[in-house]
């Protein structure tokens, strides 16, 4: 689990090209939520929270530092199902848009190569294409 998080945050933090498997996206999201909760606890226990809110400076710093990697992995996840990253703008449509994006992020990716790259589940794709002509 932590390997997926490290892969997204440290290696592909601003990579909007290619495809991301469901596991890459959801493991990143899970670890992101855990770290955000830890940041809120740190803010609350150290007294750094902002008055009426349960979070403060550590939480805001963490959220800002993971905003770009989270956006990048969501775009790559949409690429895996053959959709453009611009589909994320649908989440601004109240209720319906968020539900639709959630459904898209849960879908299984397209098998084989699509316009955004090779299938991340098929690590042997190059071997399978040996001897085939286009």
Total domains present in the chain: 1
Q: Tell me the two tokens of residue 10.
A: 């440290």
Q: Which domain holds residue 72?
A: 2-124
pLDDT over threshold 60, residue 131: no
130 found inside a domain: no
Confidence class for position 33, pLDDT limits 50, 70, 90: very high
113 found inside a domain: yes
134 found inside a domain: no
For the chain, where are the alpha helices, taking DSSP H only?
2-6, 22-46, 57-80, 96-106, 125-128
Instruction: Supply the pLDDT for residue 128.
Output: 47
| Separation CA 1–CA 106 (nearest Å) | 18
Distance of CA 127 to the CA centre of its chain: 28
62 found inside a domain: yes
131 found inside a domain: no
Contacts for 67 with CB less than 8 Å, ≥ 6 apart: none
pLDDT, mean over the chain: 84
pLDDT over threshold 50, residue 116: yes
Contacts for 118 with CB less than 8 Å, ≥ 6 apart: 19, 125
**Dihedral sign of CA atoms 67, 36, 81, 125 in order:** positive
Dihedral, CA atoms, 123, 24, 82, 105, nearest 10 degrees?
Answer: 150
132 found inside a domain: no
Instruction: Supply the pLDDT for residue 124.
Output: 53
Poorest-pLDDT segment among 22-26, 64-68, 87-91: 22-26
> How is residue 18 annotated by DSSP?
S
Instruction: Supply the pLDDT for residue 55.
Output: 84
């Amino acid at each position: 689990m932590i390997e997926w998080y490290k892969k997204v945050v440290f290696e592909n933090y601003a990579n909007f090209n290619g495809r991301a498997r469901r596991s890459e996206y959801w493991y990143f999201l899970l670890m992101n939520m855990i770290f955000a909760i830890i940041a809120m606890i740190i803010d609350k226990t150290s007294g750094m929270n902002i008055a009426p809110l349960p979070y403060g400076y550590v939480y805001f710093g963490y959220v800002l530092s993971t905003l770009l990697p989270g956006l990048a992995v969501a775009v790559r996840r949409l690429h895996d199902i053959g959709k453009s990253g611009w589909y994320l703008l649908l989440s601004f449509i109240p209720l319906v848009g968020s539900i639709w994006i959630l459904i898209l992020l849960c879908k299984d990716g397209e098998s084989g190569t699509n316009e955004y790259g090779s299938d991340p589940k098929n690590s042997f794709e190059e071997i399978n294409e040996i001897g085939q002509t286009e």
